[in-house]
Amino acid sequence: MMYEVSQVTTMNMWITAVVSIFLPIVLLIMWRKKMKVRIAPFFVGALIFIVFALVLENISHSIFIIKDSGLSRFVNGNTWAYVLYGALAAGIFEETGRFVAFKFFMKNNDDKESAVTYGIGHGGIESILVVGFSMLSSIFLISTLNSMGGIDNYVALVPEESQDVVRSSLMSLYTTAPYVYLLGAVERVATIAFHIALSVFVFIAVKRPGKWYFYPAAILLHTFLDIFAVLYQRGVITNIIIMEAIIIVITLITSYFAYRIYQSDERVETTQTV
């Protein structure tokens, strides 16, 4: 049977790919133009995300959920253990990465503007690598399937024992509602805002005496938001719009408090080091 992807689906994929890849770049350019900031924190944020989220966190995943063991069987077999682990892992690794960045790699960056620049880099590289490139890959894959005459011809090239898994994965490209792909763009906007907000939290925790509690607060906020994403992944939440709405609400509330904290940190203007 020959399946076709609608033009709306393809257009939504392209929209999400473009937003995911270019939004961080546009934000960096606008922020640098407005505040005359250095761009080094942007690259620190990108590097920290790669090391802590894509490398170290995935090593943890291999222990807790991938490698066969009594621990992984327990986590995978218990929905709430899986949800708690997945959400906590994201919160602990990423916020600790921020802490390490501000404490050691940006120890001379005491201006609060660098927290925002860092957040654009941290959330931006996630947007580019995890969503942008993934969406481009899906677009390329659909083009390949069309040029080969459909899924069956593609699957025929795969070892027989893997064909059912590959066919099921490919079918999701055709059966997923077009609006779901567009939601990816909306989620990236919210996620980058969330990363910027938490970067302000952790920056204050590291740079301002007596404000250490903003670091565990960032971990808890990050964990709380990711609980809903993992619940959706696990099938407890079945409506993606509800999940995305919850994430947006949490992001708006977190961003509001981060903005208030950022605005109240006026003493930076007279104490920053150059």
pLDDT per residue as tens digits for the range 137-164 = 999 988 888 788 778 788 888 888 788 8
* Residue keyed to tokens 């960032």: 218
pLDDT at 269 over 70: no
For the whole model, what pTM was predicted?
Answer: 0.92
- CB atoms near residue 245 (< 10 Å): 13
- What is the average per-residue pLDDT within 39-50? 98
Of 263, 169, 265, give the one whose Cα is nearest residue 209: 265
Kindly provide the b/e burial profile for residues 48-79, where b requires at least 16 CB atoms within 10 angstroms of the residue's own CB. Answer: bbbebbeebbeeebeebbeeeeeebeebeeee
Question: Quick one: pLDDT band at residue 270, thresholds 50, 70, 90?
Answer: very low
Spell out the domain ranges in the chain. 7-265
Q: What gap in Å lies between CA 21 and CA 16, rounded to an integer?
A: 8
Question: Higher-confidence residue: 94 or 176?
Answer: 94
pLDDT for 175: 85
Q: Is residue 238 classed as helix, strand or coil in its secondary structure?
A: coil
pLDDT for 66: 96
DSSP label of 180: H
Residue 237 to residues 17, 161, 228, 230, Cα–Cα distance (Å) = 25, 32, 8, 9
Question: Quick one: pLDDT band at residue 1, thresholds 50, 70, 90?
Answer: low
Q: What gap in Å lies between CA 170 and CA 166, rounded to an integer?
A: 6
